[in-house]
Structure 1
Amino acid sequence: MRGTVARFEMSYSLSPGDRLTFGPPLRMRLPSFVYLAISLVALALVLIAYSSSSNSRLYVWLVEGDKTRPLSSLAFALILVASAVGTVLRAHMRGVVVRRDGLEARYLLAMGIPRIRQWTWPQISRLILDEKDVLLELWDNRYERLPEVATPKEFHELLERLGAAHGIQITRLTVPRT
């Protein structure tokens, strides 16, 4: 026993490498999917124009019109698709990651600048849960709102279990039904 430390693991514990990710709701991701679809349609039109006959309207407008443009329609469509893929990836960067040692909130600020905030379980004094939102009361009496997630019910259940296991006070707000 000399030099060893006894560890007590409970069923709430996450293994050291475990991370549970809760992504943003569909309504926050939908605009980026629409942009991706529009950019893919534009790329398809350009590819159709390049493979169509030389007297079609699409060929004349896109391929022959490229002679006077500073950027070809194919290059523009590829840039548009790359931008749309980046927007989809950026939209998926939002959400909350639940780790063994605490929480990580991922936000997007203005102009798409990412912001990551991390808290360990001892820093959290209270979890305030309502129908879809989670508010953290921190040890220094500050409040932090976690971003919305796609599956709030599962997220709240997990936070309740982990919060209770770590001795964190949990307040559940309910809306009275009339």
Structure 2
Amino acid sequence: MLSNITNNLLRVGRIASVAALVALAGCQVKPLYAVSAPGTGTGQQLAAIEFSPAEDRIGQAVRNELIFLTAGGAGESKTPAYRLTMSVSSFRQNVLDEQVTFNLIPGRVTVIGSYTFTRISDGKVLKTAQRRATALLDVSAQEFAEMRAYRDAENRAAKQLAEFIRGDIATTLGRQ
């Protein structure tokens, strides 16, 4: 009796294994930046993006970082195939209302980027999203030190936001 149950379980296990192998045979995994036919790889597609003009300093910081990340330092594409329209905003916030040590108040800067990624040839919107990045800082009682700390935090958050957006775009292009 026990051997019949064991044989039945082994048979079911074999059938399940074969079914899983057949199901997985259709799955394909490829590296995001895999080398492919000329002009069709994700790296080449990332280098063919046109970026909308920035509205302020933080937007320009995000835009500059995106241009560097997508083109590998080569600058904007002369013949873009895609367009990224972006709107960037930021806000500052104190974490605590009281001084903690040495006249420093912990704070944070959040940079928010809303963007639309479009294929130029047919105007098809490939992705619309909103991403945010936060950088922490210590706010000093000295005016210049406070301004510099906020600017440094904004720059760090802008760089991080650009990396998030580039990842989203690369994933979108990898699925094309």
- TM-score, structure 2 as length reference: 0.25
- TM-score, structure 1 as length reference: 0.25
